[in-house]
Structure 1
Amino acid sequence: MGTVYLGVSPGARRVAVKVVREELAQDPSFRRRFAREVDAVRRVGGFHTAPVVDAGPDDARPWLVTEYIPGPSLHEVLRTHGALPATTVRALALGLAEALEGIHACGLIHRDLKPGNIVVSGAGPRVIDFGIARAAEGTSLTTTNVVVGTRGFLAPEQLTGGPLTPAVDAYAFGMVLCHACGAAPFPGGTVLDQALHALPADLAAVVGDCLRHDPAARPTPTEILQRLAHSGEKPPEDWLPGAVRALVARHQAVLPAPVLAPRP
């Protein structure tokens, strides 16, 4: 949809500045949807998302500023270190469920939850790039019969053109956990029940329900949180293994010192 820059707020806080592509800025329907989505995303709170700082949906090039979260994506973590230990996957599950609970409470559906849209920070996982993607529908970025999302994390109804509900995020949540524990991508001919043996029993039961073909049979984020809370397992205070925490620290260390231009 555009370009993301590392910026600095007047108070010397680092932020992510997302500037919309010029061709999209010329589309009045995109501008209307973008403004609606910005308004909705502003209402999403919680510990596990990147809050909106400011936005300019009516400017010549619409833009959005969110908190900058220093840390690798979950995709980078898994590519570098492989499958995560059970305690980390359980903490990841709780954090993602809380994030989706907040997103859905604002009437939004992420629709592209995947390791690349999850930032791993020392304080917990952060979900990014939610809501705004819907503004691109019907513009030059999308055409009829083109699926919005990432294959491997799309619910069946996203592939068949069925109604989209928050249940698509539950399906993607289940797939993210499968990747995090090393069960996915599934080799050809793998039976789901066999793949889920890589997860702890309580998580395997939740993920199995999240991956049901019938959207109505998938649990909501609130139900996921309740089920995991009742499992009796509590994530440790330090949710990351040492090697991953070192990777997070390296991301924090490479940030340049903020340089503020003098005010006129």
Structure 2
Amino acid sequence: MAPQLRHQPLREDDPRRIGRYQLTARLGQGGMGTVFLGRSPGERMVAVKVIHTEFATDPTFRQRFAREIAAARLVGGFHTAAVVDADADSEHPWLVTEYIPGPSLHDVLQQHGALPPRTLHILALGIAEALEGIHSCSIIHRDLKPSNIIVSTTGPRVIDFGIARAFDSTALTRTNVVVGTQGFLAPEQLAGSASTPATDLYAYGMVLCHAAGAVPFPDGETLESALELLPSTLVNVITNCLNHDPAHRPTGTEVLGTVSRIMF
């Protein structure tokens, strides 16, 4: 899974500078904003997320972006991207994190297909350790999916806390609006219930099924057939993560302990 970078040139209407950071290319675009490749005054490569113009005047989105910044500052460790700088009050609010060279897991799977068992095991370890660190900061990611996982030379990195929230915070979403990505949503998210760390563990299970070759919930696909694509050593732990009842799912620490004991 060697990194294969997929930068896109800046468009005519893209900014060339945000704060003190010079922008050099596009890295991707999501529902909340566009991510650019940038360069700091000290010539360090950074990722610069700029909120979409149509949302910048919406107090709800500004509040959500401010929470993203706060969440990202709290979460550190080997498996996330460190925050470098941010400004939630700018005309065009922005967040700068360290730049992690490498494709997203989504792009890897699109280009190369299902991962071999050993690579899948390394991925399972890295994401579990990332979730352990995220949850230890009382943060729920709520949108764990292959496009939010960067495959770097140092292992998988979990990014984009755009809809993360503290365990005790008030939901920023409107009534009856489901937050997350179809195919990786836990049953409680689909039902409109409160998210917990167990919500991320369900998404973790779906990410690994996807990395093993299953497309999330295609026509005719069943959970059993998705689990059959996993190495036998991972089936039990992933089955537990995909339990319909969040109270019966393991924690990130428990998953990490279980997967780390698997011998290859």
Q: 1:26 corresponds to which residue?
A: 57
Pick one of 194, 198, 205 that aligns with 1:167: 198
Q: Give unpaired runs (5+ residues) of structure 2.
A: 1-31, 166-170
Deviation string 1:141-160 (CA, Å, 9 cap, x unpaired) is: x6432211111100011111
5 Å matches for 1:105-124? Answer: 105-124=136-155
Q: 1:96 corresponds to which residue?
A: 127
Contact 1:112 1:150 in 2 (8 A): yes
Give the structure-1-normalised TM-score.
0.80
Give the structure-2-normalised TM-score.
0.80
Partners of 2:222 and 2:97 in 1: how far apart? 41
Aligned-partner residue type, residue 25 of structure 1? A
Report the alpha carbon displacement of residue 183 of structure 1 after superposing the two structures with TM.
Answer: 3.4
After superposition, the CA RMSD in angstroms is: 2.0
5 Å matches for 1:221-236? Answer: 221-233=252-264
Aligned-partner residue type, residue 227 of structure 2? L
Matched, 1:133 2:163: yes
Deviation string 1:147-205 (CA, Å, 9 cap, x unpaired) is: 11111100011111112111111011001100111134456555534432221222111
Aligned-partner residue type, residue 251 of structure 2? T
Partners of 1:32 and 1:149 in 2: how far apart? 18
Secondary structure of 2:139 counterpart: coil
Contact 1:18 1:64 in 2 (8 A): yes
Secondary structure of 2:228 counterpart: helix
Identity of aligned residues (%): 65
Matched, 1:86 2:149: no
Report the alpha carbon displacement of residue 134 of structure 1 after superposing the two structures with TM.
Answer: 4.6
Contact 1:22 1:61 in 2 (8 A): yes
Question: Structure 1 or 2: larger helix share?
Answer: 1
Secondary structure of 1:153 counterpart: coil
Number of equivalences = 228
Partners of 2:210 and 2:127 in 1: how far apart? 14
Contact 1:4 1:17 in 2 (8 A): yes
Q: Give unpaired runs (5+ residues) of structure 1.
A: 234-264
Deviates most, 190-199 or 12-21: 190-199
**Largest Rg, 1 or 2:** 1
Q: More relative contact order in 1 or in 2 (CA 8 Å, sep 6+)?
A: 1
